[in-house]
A = this chain, B = another copy of it.
Amino acid sequence: MNEIGQRRASGIRSREAFIATTGRLLRRQGYSGTGLSEIVAASGAPKGSLYFHFPGGKEELAAVAMARAGDELRGAIVAILSSHDALGDALCALLDALAAGLEASDYADGCPIATVALEAATRSESVRVVAADAFDSWVSALRERMLAGGMARETADRRALLVLAAVEGALILARARRDLVPLRAVREELLELAG
């Protein structure tokens, strides 16, 4: 690789480090509680390159990191939902995966979008829109799975929203309680609802 190629590779690494670090910090502590200096320190990337990659500063970086987290979780949701024939089993597998991640992180890693969505919804329009898009993409994944299983469109439109809402809410309750009881209760209820 020549010098220009090496610089470009290093720039891509820095950009990716900023995005991954920001996503992790936002998920655990939210927008207001995450400072640019903390992001730079935790990323290990050169401080001077942050505004080169993200001229819009923290707001732009947060929007990119949240969009990335939303895409990744959508991919995971689609993969899990398609791994089981029965809708109920697929929803249980989704709840189990979220519960495992929450427990493994000592109740720190809930939804990667919800915390920032709640605190920044009235402050940053770009952050709000990215959050809404991420939620929509997950609802769509759930709805598509329900339609593929033969559910009527009107029911699927509502039920996909119920499932995502119940999952999001259960993650909040579980983080506050530091136990998996709410996720397990929602798992059983959704299994019953899926018939």
Contact = CB atoms under 8 A, between A and B. Distances in A.
B176 A170 contact: no
Contacts of A59: none
Given A30-B32, A107-B121, A118-B115, A161 B175 contact: no
Given A33-B119, A122-B29, A176-B117, A182 B161 contact: yes
A132 B165 contact: no
A29 B119 contact: yes
A175 B28 contact: no
B169 A132 contact: no
A176 B113 CA distance: 10
A165 B164 CA distance: 10
